[in-house]
């Protein structure tokens, strides 16, 4: 038992040292000893191990009038790589992240709504293989592949329990991909992946308590509490599409009435479009284009979306009282006009007693958010060294 404890302590110390180098680079061994409160001998040993394993590199020290400066240490950007994937209803997005969380390659492939699960997985495998080959990533430098998918996900087994956007049920995504890739493969809800990128740090998020709300073909949320993803019992925390907004509203597919998804889904938004134009704006992507083009019908539609989004934000704030709420979605991220309407509605609907202390902002990651977050998640899992 004592030997096991020693091994765990060494692993934890390595993690702490690498984490401090990430956050404070360039940094000297002396500085590392001070901020980690480890002995210089321990720091020297760990740093040497990390150099030998190519995780970190040393900068050249310079001669000065008062002697040689301490050798500084940096994380090696090329030490390891991870791949992030977003499977969206109309697009397949894949990105390659280096060891300092820079996106070094990114591809976007259109998907047809009629494409089968098998064909999507086949295309995904081919595109990932192409990305690895084009960037000459060796097997030992690939930490893993993270995949964000809309829906209810069993992240421990890598199974899509249900995804209404794709009409998938019990799809064993991780097992199907593991036949082609010899590395860690992590599957989770796309917002739970994206919130890692929004938080900004692999090991320590900038905000201890944060909520990400995604508005698109559906509506959902991801929650960070005390620096960690809050999942609930079966990873369903954040499935806000079935919050009851109006108990006397129309019946939802889940059997209840007045669910939030009834007021934000594609078919509801199309009701704001004149009947003569509905065939032109027959998908969410086309509706977003019409909003950005300032079509006349977009004004009441924006007001509708903003109202229900503000009500949702208020409900979540009242439950969790986070440091921040981040809103993401193609219709919102690049449109200042919509953002201002949402903020105005928040002023009206959010309980003032707590709302004034909470920052509400919009994601700036655009199409790379899920991809980058999924790749960061894999790094976090694998670098528990």
Region 227-255: mean pLDDT is 91
Spatial CA neighbour of 228 closest among 249, 207, 253? 207
Are the C-beta atoms of 315 and 244 separated by less than 8 Å? no
Which range, 41-45, 205-209, 377-381, is most confident? 41-45
Region 300-323: mean pLDDT is 94
* Dist CA 245 CA 248 (whole Å): 9
Pick from 25-29, 44-48, 85-89, 217-221: least confident: 217-221
Residue 202's pLDDT is what?
61
Residue 1's pLDDT is what?
46
* Dist CA 314 CA 346 (whole Å): 8
For residue 244, what is the DSSP state?
Answer: B
**How do the residues of the chain divide into helix, strand and coil, expressed in percent and rounded to 5?**
45, 25, 35
- Give the chain's length: 385
Are the C-beta atoms of 98 and 137 separated by less than 8 Å? no
Are the C-beta atoms of 360 and 353 separated by less than 8 Å? no
Q: How many CA atoms lie less than 13 Å away from 39 in the CB half-sphere? A: 3
The predicted-structure confidence for 338-351, as pLDDT tens digits, reads as follows 999 999 999 999 99
Region 153-168: mean pLDDT is 93
């Amino acid at each position: 038992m004592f030997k096991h404890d020693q091994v765990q302590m060494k692993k934890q110390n390595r993690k702490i040292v690498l984490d401090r180098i990430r956050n404070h680079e360039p940094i000297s061994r002396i500085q590392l000893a001070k901020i980690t409160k480890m002995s210089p001998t321990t720091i020297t040993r760990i740093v040497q191990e990390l150099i030998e394993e190519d995780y970190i590199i040393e900068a050249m020290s310079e001669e000065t009038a008062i002697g040689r400066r301490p050798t500084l240490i940096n994380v090696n950007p090329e030490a390891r790589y991870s791949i992030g994937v977003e499977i969206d209803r109309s697009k397949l997005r894949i990105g390659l992240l280096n060891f300092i969380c820079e996106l070094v390659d990114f591809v976007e492939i259109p998907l047809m709504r009629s494409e089968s699960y098998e064909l999507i997985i086949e295309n995904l495998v081919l595109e990932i293989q192409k990305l690895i080959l084009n960037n000459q990533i060796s097997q030992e430098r690939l930490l893993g592949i993270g995949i964000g998918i809309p829906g209810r996900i069993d992240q421990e087994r890598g199974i899509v329990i249900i995804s209404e956007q794709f009409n998938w049920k019990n799809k064993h995504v991780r097992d199907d991909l593991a036949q082609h890739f010899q590395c860690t493969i992590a599957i989770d809800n796309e917002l739970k992946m994206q919130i890692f990128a929004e938080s900004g740090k692999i090991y320590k998020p900038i905000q201890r308590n944060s909520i990400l709300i995604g508005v698109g073909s559906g509506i959902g949320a991801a929650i960070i509490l005390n620096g960690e993803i809050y999942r609930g019992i079966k990873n369903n925390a954040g499935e806000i599409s079935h919050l009851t907004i109006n108990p006397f509203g129309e019946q939802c597919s889940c059997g209840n009435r007045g669910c939030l998804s009834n007021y934000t889904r594609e078919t509801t938004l199309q009701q704001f479009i004149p009947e003569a134009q509905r065939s032109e704006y027959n998908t969410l992507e086309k509706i977003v284009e019409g909003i950005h083009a300032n079509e006349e019908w977009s004004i009441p539609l924006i007001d509708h979306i903003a109202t229900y989004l503000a009500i949702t934000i208020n409900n979540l704030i009242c439950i969790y009282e986070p440091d921040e709420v981040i809103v993401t979605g193609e219709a919102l991220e690049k449109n200042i006009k919509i953002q201002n309407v949402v903020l105005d509605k928040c002023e009206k609907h959010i309980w003032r007693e707590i709302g004034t202390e909470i920052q509400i902002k919009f994601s700036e990651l655009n199409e790379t958010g899920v991809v980058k977050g999924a790749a960061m998640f894999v790094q976090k899992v694998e670098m528990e060294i």
